[in-house]
Structure 1
Amino acid sequence: MKLYNIKRVPYFLLLAVLIQTTSCKKDYTDPTKVPQNAALTTARGLTGVVTGLHRVYTAGRAGSLYNQVTADGFVTRLLNIINQGNTAEYQLYLGGNSVDGTNTILASFWTSSNKIIYDANNVIKNAPNLADQGYASGLIAYASIFKALALGNMASYWDNVPDSIGLNVGFVTSAEGFNRAIAVLNNALAVVNATPISASFVSNVPAGIDIVNTLHALKARYSLNAGNYAQALSEANAVDLTKKSTFNFDAVTLNPIFETATSTNNVYQPIDSTMGLPVALEPNLADKREPFYIAINATVAPRFRINGFGAALNSSFPVYLPGEMTLIKAEAYARMSTPDLVNALVELNKIITKKPANDPFGVGADLPADPGPYTQAQLLDQIYRHRCIELYLSGLKLADMRRFSRPNGERKRNFFPYPFIERDNNTNTPVDPTF
């Protein structure tokens, strides 16, 4: 019998409202629930905590997933505002100084990320005390996935991230944030390699996430952002590209993009078919990824509609795409101290020629191979182009734009301002970035 079901679990340590003042104080316990020490001493209690991590990350408009996709999509010119009455989204659509510490999407994103780190830390600290080390291995690995996502997300959108969880904490650079996410993943991989995850653990957490492949995939992602190209290449090669890793949804727990945007058509939709790319890099008209991600309504405005991973209430959302791993390989080869442009183009052509039927998610351009040859700069432009198309609305584009040194005119911000819920309660909060 399963210990917990994501729809019924009495989530331990969850915030009642993610963006309220409890987050400011970094006090994430809930006095109406099971005492923290009891929740953290048993497999049952710790399973409730990691199930709660999944919930906080994916839950509706307050969850990290919606906030990441939405904030990134607006400031990188992927999304058009449909109803300006959605104030937080409209501020992000305007960009620049219109985005400030009052933005509730950013406040929710910041708070949910800190909440996830707090709860994950408790699991990682206490799971080793369990008698069943295979179950403990699963708990640590699963919690580490969400902690790494939270750290990596904060490092992608803020130029500094909290040094720890607590009152008046210090801050470290975005680059250090990526390295800390990598350290979390390294620890989890070491634990799993020493003691394989038990089947009983897998049966007691929400289905969808391929734990070991996800640990390698996230390490590849954050190694790339940290500039460790050899490590990014090695970790991308460790991922089984035939497997899926997803956040799953159903009629009770709805896909948050569908729930808020697609189903209502009253918040946002794709801005157009360019996928946010300048003219020189726009998608080929024959690229089959375009209709996968963007549907066309020829009779009722808006013309461009969300498709792909936000198309239906039960659409699964990938934790990572296999295509991301292939593009990481291409970029890593191209950015090595001695660039390997031949192998970089080989990996890029795997994306360009891939047929939808040959991708686990059905994402495929199905175009003729690009013959090249390219200079390093030209090849990086093409890798960026195909990342924007292959990973459309994944929430990864803003970090990509900085890494590829795209002109500021192609985006509406480089980093986000710090939410007032942090600034008003932490004297160490850094000065907001100017753009």
Structure 2
Amino acid sequence: MKKLSILLMLCSATVLFNSCKLEYVNPNGPTDEEVLNSREGLISLCVGMKLTYATSGMQALITAPGTTTRELKGVTTFTNILELEAGGTALPTFNGNVNGLWSNMLRVMGMAENLISKAPSVLEADAATKSGVLAFGNLFKAMSIGGLATAFEQFPIQTNVAGTATFVPRAEGLEEAVRLLDEAAAAIAANAPSAEFNSRVLAGDFSLLNVINAYRARYNMMLGNYSAALTAANAVDLSVASVFRYTEQNPNPIYNQVQVASNFKARENFGLPAGLVEAGDARLNFFLADPTVVVNGENLKTLKGFFDVITESIPVYVPDELRLIKAEAILRGNGNLNDALTEINAVRTQAAGDPVGINANLPAYSGPITKDDLLLEVYKQRGAELFLQGLRLEDSRRFGRPAPPTNVNPVPVDYERTRNFYPYPDQERLSNPNTPQDPVI
């Protein structure tokens, strides 16, 4: 843990934060060159990057978009959370939560870039460890790009310590994420990662190829590459779970925000409109519990699921996301409606055995079997199955859910999201002349 702490301090000092270069000197620790040019340093950096994403990264990805899409309600008096809760044009460019999402994704991106650039030379004589490190770097760079794509219209896909990173449109960013994932899959297909890499980095609870294919499916779907999304989803073993694990020293970040800091509470019915929730859905009791409290006329629940114990694991992806991606890809690709319905019902009727414990235990779908009706059912199932996975904002846009008004603040609670995209943080704009114009809403 001491080595890892030193490593994270060094990485924090040498990678991009809001396109700024921060320099800290620790005279008692190894230099960044010593870390990045040693086998031990690169393996430790893999572990540190995974921990950074699992803690500060996951906190930002879940709490900020989760508030914007009404899954969570900000219930504290902190100004940044009240701004996020209000949404609309009341969300300023200096909001701390938006900046946290931006900076944490860029931080992970910088760590990943160090792995990608250094592994070929440092690990040249160890092909099995090199393939694992390169694939892991590519995966987490892709994940950081995907995290930015859920919330911003444009963003950098390469960090720049001079503070002048260039921006690309989100579609171009997602294409780069898919390219990185394809390269990661090819690397481990050519050389299976070493036993040491698997033991020390993956630690028995992170199935690397399954995670790569799950994110390939996710980002191809976001791009509208339906055939590629379906192929990648079919390659994931749905009986295997991959999770981020936590300890009391590195606690579950949502537990900290909701149960300890009391900054947020969960809205009832997953924050979905009443017409998109079925009373008998067992996922309601999995994620939400009494007592119910009323705040500003809204019913708020006690959060359960993956977020009610300080050491509770959070899935890297939910296996049934892949079934719903298959259904959506079939529908949007004008495939067989009954094939899509089969995937939907596999999610609806699951009563036990889900690898991460989410079982809807609902009857089979009985509504109209049309493309539009089944797409609405996919959105409905995603809203429950993927509750607080940081995906609802992207889903809300992709499924054409009602957009928020541009001239009303706070946004009325009957809107399903309070922003389309976030403004760019002031810390980025003040240091980077390439920062684009903010979106209207």
TM-score computed with the length of structure 2 as normaliser:
0.90
Q: Deviations over 1:353-382 (max 9, x none)?
A: 011x22011101111111344221111111
Residue 227 of structure 1: how far off its partner (Å): 0.5
Residue 220 of structure 1 pairs with residue 217 of structure 2 = yes
Q: Deviations over 1:129-170 (max 9, x none)?
A: 211111111111222221111000101100001142113222
> Hey, what does 1:105 align to over in structure 2?
97
- Give the secondary-structure state (helix, strand or coil) at the position aligned to 1:11: helix
Residue 414 of structure 1 pairs with residue 420 of structure 2 = yes
Q: Does the 8 A contact of 1:178 with 1:222 survive in 2?
A: yes
- Give the secondary-structure state (helix, strand or coil) at the position aligned to 1:371: coil
- Give the secondary-structure state (helix, strand or coil) at the position aligned to 2:168: strand
Residue 206 of structure 1: how far off its partner (Å): 5.7
Residue 414 of structure 1: how far off its partner (Å): 0.4
> Hey, what does 1:96 align to over in structure 2?
88
Equivalents in 2 of 1:228, 1:300: separation in Å? 43
- Give the secondary-structure state (helix, strand or coil) at the position aligned to 1:196: coil
Equivalents in 2 of 1:339, 1:28: separation in Å? 51
Residue 376 of structure 1 pairs with residue 371 of structure 2 = yes
Q: Which runs of 5+ in 2 are unaligned?
A: 404-414
- Give the secondary-structure state (helix, strand or coil) at the position aligned to 1:254: coil
- Give the secondary-structure state (helix, strand or coil) at the position aligned to 1:296: strand
- Give the secondary-structure state (helix, strand or coil) at the position aligned to 1:421: helix
Equivalents in 1 of 2:230, 2:85: separation in Å? 35
Equivalents in 1 of 2:146, 2:18: separation in Å? 21
Q: Which runs of 5+ in 1 are unaligned?
A: none
> Hey, what does 1:189 align to over in structure 2?
185
How much identity, in percent, do the aligned residues show? 35
Q: Does the 8 A contact of 1:6 with 1:55 survive in 2?
A: no
TM-score computed with the length of structure 1 as normaliser:
0.92
Residue 263 of structure 1 pairs with residue 260 of structure 2 = yes
Residue 388 of structure 1 pairs with residue 379 of structure 2 = no
Residue 78 of structure 1 pairs with residue 78 of structure 2 = no
Seen in structure 2, the aligned counterparts of structure 1 residues 169 and 7 have a Cα distance that, compared at 3 Å, is closer
Equivalents in 2 of 1:187, 1:75: separation in Å? 33
Residue 117 of structure 1: how far off its partner (Å): 1.1
Q: Deviations over 1:58-117 (max 9, x none)?
A: 33xxx111111111111111112222x222222111111121211111112211211211
Residue 66 of structure 1 pairs with residue 72 of structure 2 = no
Seen in structure 2, the aligned counterparts of structure 1 residues 34 and 8 have a Cα distance that, compared at 3 Å, is closer
Equivalents in 2 of 1:94, 1:66: separation in Å? 19
Residue 299 of structure 1: how far off its partner (Å): 8.6
Equivalents in 2 of 1:350, 1:25: separation in Å? 44
Q: Does the 8 A contact of 1:12 with 1:39 survive in 2?
A: no
Seen in structure 2, the aligned counterparts of structure 1 residues 69 and 299 have a Cα distance that, compared at 3 Å, is closer
Deviates more, 1:365-374 or 1:100-109: 365-374
Q: Does the 8 A contact of 1:352 with 1:366 survive in 2?
A: yes
> Hey, what does 1:348 align to over in structure 2?
344
Pick from 283, 286, 299: which aligns with 1:289?
A: 283
Seen in structure 2, the aligned counterparts of structure 1 residues 346 and 140 have a Cα distance that, compared at 3 Å, is same
Equivalents in 2 of 1:58, 1:255: separation in Å? 8
Residue 229 of structure 1: how far off its partner (Å): 0.6
* Correspondence 1:228-243 to 2 at 5 A: 228-243=225-240
Q: Does the 8 A contact of 1:13 with 1:28 survive in 2?
A: no
2:426 aligned partner, one-letter code: F
Residue 320 of structure 1 pairs with residue 313 of structure 2 = no
> Hey, what does 2:408 align to over in structure 1?
none
- Give the secondary-structure state (helix, strand or coil) at the position aligned to 1:434: coil
Equivalents in 2 of 1:201, 1:30: separation in Å? 29
Residue 200 of structure 1 pairs with residue 196 of structure 2 = yes
Q: Does the 8 A contact of 1:14 with 1:28 survive in 2?
A: no
1:410 aligned partner, one-letter code: E
Equivalents in 2 of 1:5, 1:36: separation in Å? 16
Equivalents in 1 of 2:30, 2:328: separation in Å? 47
Q: Deviations over 1:298-343 (max 9, x none)?
A: 699985111111110011001101010110001000100x332111
- Give the secondary-structure state (helix, strand or coil) at the position aligned to 1:374: coil
> Hey, what does 1:403 align to over in structure 2?
398
Q: Does the 8 A contact of 2:145 with 2:157 survive in 1?
A: no
Equivalents in 2 of 1:303, 1:379: separation in Å? 29
Q: Does the 8 A contact of 1:29 with 1:36 survive in 2?
A: no
2:237 aligned partner, one-letter code: D
Q: Does the 8 A contact of 2:349 with 2:363 survive in 1?
A: yes
* Correspondence 1:159-170 to 2 at 5 A: 159-166=153-160, 167-170=163-166
Q: Does the 8 A contact of 2:73 with 2:266 survive in 1?
A: yes
Residue 30 of structure 1: how far off its partner (Å): 4.5
Residue 250 of structure 1: how far off its partner (Å): 1.5
Q: Does the 8 A contact of 1:152 with 1:178 survive in 2?
A: yes
Equivalents in 2 of 1:16, 1:299: separation in Å? 43
> Hey, what does 1:133 align to over in structure 2?
127
2:398 aligned partner, one-letter code: R
Once superposed, what is the RMSD of the aligned Cα atoms? 2.1
Equivalents in 2 of 1:28, 1:326: separation in Å? 43
Moved over 4 A (4+): 4-9, 298-303
- Give the secondary-structure state (helix, strand or coil) at the position aligned to 1:125: helix
